[in-house]
Amino acid sequence: MSVVAFGVAYMAPAVVMSIFGVIAATSKGAAPTAYAIATGAMLLTGLSYAKMAKVHPSSGSVYTYARKELDSRVGFLAGWALLLDYLFLPMVAWLIQAIYLHAQFPAVPEWAWLVINVVLATVINIVGLKVADRVNRVLLLGVTAVLVVLAVLCVHYGLGHGGTASAGHAFWNHATSFSAVTAAAAVAAYAFLGFDAVSTLSEEVRDPRRTIPRSIILTVLTGGGIFIVISFLMQWAHPGGSFPDQDSAGYLLSTTVGGKTFADVANIVGMLGGFASCVAIQASTSRLMFVMGRDGALPRRVFGRLHRKLLTPVTNVLVIGAVGLLAMNLSLADATSFINFGAFLGFTLVNVCVIAYAVRQWRSGTRHSPVRYLLLPAAGAAVDVYLITQLGGTAVRLGLGWLVIGIVWLAVITKGFRRPAPEMRLGSDGEAGPAEPEASDPLLPTA
User: What predicted TM-score, i.e. pTM, was given to this entire model?
Assistant: 0.84
Confidence band of 72 (pLDDT split at 50, 70, 90) = confident
Nearest to 84 by CA among 398, 432, 407, 417: 398
* pLDDT given at position 443: 34
Rg of the chain (C-alpha set): 22
Phi and psi at 327, nearest 5°, equal -65, -15
Cα–Cα distances (Å) from 61 to 77, 195, 220, 381, 428, in that order, read 13, 12, 17, 17, 10
On the question of pLDDT at 26 being above 80, the answer is yes
Name all contacts of 292-295 with Cβ < 8 Å and 24+ positions apart: 292/79, 292/83, 292/424, 294/425, 294/433, 294/444, 295/422, 295/423, 295/424, 295/425
Number of neighbouring beta carbons within 10 Å of residue 174: 8
Is 429 a domain residue? no
Strand partners, 307: 446
Number of neighbouring beta carbons within 10 Å of residue 410: 20
Side-chain-facing half-sphere of 410: CA atoms under 13 Å: 22
Number of neighbouring beta carbons within 10 Å of residue 112: 14
User: Between helices 178-188 and 31-55, what is the axis angle to 10°?
Assistant: 50
Structure confidence by residue, pLDDT tens digits, 74-123 = 888 888 888 888 888 889 889 999 999 999 999 999 999 999 999 999 99
* pLDDT given at position 59: 59
Nearest to 16 by CA among 105, 176, 117, 143: 143
Structure confidence by residue, pLDDT tens digits, 146-163 = 889 999 999 988 888 766
Is 430 a domain residue? no
Average pLDDT on 419-434 reads 58
Range of the domain at 390: 2-419
Residues above pLDDT 90, as percent of the chain: 36
Residue type at 13? P
In the chain, how many domains are there? 1
Average pLDDT on 167-194 reads 89
Is 441 a domain residue? no
Give the span between the Cα atoms of 171 and 167, in whole angstroms.
8
Q: Is 307 helix (H, G, I), strand (E, B) or coil?
A: strand
123 torsion bin: left (phi>0), alpha (psi -120 to 50), beta (else): alpha
Give the angle subtended at the CA of 344 by the CAs of 143 and 350, to the nearest 5°.
Answer: 105
* pLDDT given at position 438: 34
Pairwise pLDDT comparison (200 vs 344), residue with the higher score? 344
Is 435 a domain residue? no
Is 49 a domain residue? yes
Domain containing residue 377: CATH number: 1.20.1740.10
Is 55 a domain residue? yes
Is 424 a domain residue? no
